[in-house]
Amino acid sequence: MEFNLEAARITSLPEDAFYIADFITEDEEELLLHKITTAPLPRWTQLSHRRLQTWPSALTKSNTLIASPLPSWLVSPIIAPRFDSLGIFTDAPHGSPNHVLINEYRPGQGIMPHEDGATYYPLVATVSLGASIVLDLYSKDQSSSEANGDGAAGVRQPQYRIMQERRSLLVTRRKIYTDFLHGIADVNSDEGLSPDMISNWDLLREKDRYQCGRYDRGTRISLTYRDVLKVSKLGNTMKFLGAQ
């Protein structure tokens, strides 16, 4: 599979966002889902509205990653050769993602608008499995004004919306990373879908599926690849802890 990152640019958004609808094959999706769903139960962290896996490990309290390789099934074929061929993480400090969050969203589950912050290099690459979902983007200025009561009846409305189809890749960086919050509504169906409302409509694989303006959610699993800036070798970490 060959991809052109510039051809995947979501042109209606500020810099920078890219969307590739068919980033992995159905067989690759099936294998990834098998690896994720058969992981030992302790690998899952149960949160109030979803559950997640963290690879290779959770960050320390100082937002440091203990150096450890990602498992091979999270590397091939996603990082190597596809991320590498696209040059997505070429400018990142470690030249490649070193951390993956795997989130499971069942119908009715979502995540509040948030930012990933300075712990990571300002780039996120997300692969979606199992089902589609809409990602909502809110400018930080917009969120502040609504929090101060300037929004319509205090209801926060997304400034942009991105449909993430199963087997797709979404890359966000620069202003989209630094100047916007992102979230997923905790609803059973995504509504108001149209070319005017979905920023990446022209790049979707299944436009006909969403022409009715509504999509009933299934269980969606996301693989979010990032580069954690602070990395420590295990020996250095143990030495540091022993000095406390």
Instruction: Give pLDDT tens digits for 83-107.
Output: 999 999 999 999 999 999 999 999 9
Instruction: Tell which CATH classification among 2.60.120.590, 1.10.287.70, 1.10.287.1770, 2.80.10.50 matches the domain 5-143+155-231.
Output: 2.60.120.590
Quote the pLDDT of residue 234. Answer: 79
Q: Of 99, 108, 130, which is closest to residue 35 (Cα–Cα)?
A: 130
**Contact present, 86 and 80 (Cβ < 8 Å):** no
Question: Average model confidence (pLDDT) for the chain?
Answer: 92
Q: Provide the whole-model pTM.
A: 0.92
Please give the Cα distance from 117 to 13 (Å, whole number).
20
Q: Is the pLDDT of residue 241 over 70?
A: no
Q: Is the pLDDT of residue 243 over 60?
A: no
pLDDT band at 80 (very low <50, low <70, confident <90, very high): very high
Domain extents for the chain? 5-143+155-231
Which SS3 state, helix, strand or coil, does residue 81 take? Answer: helix
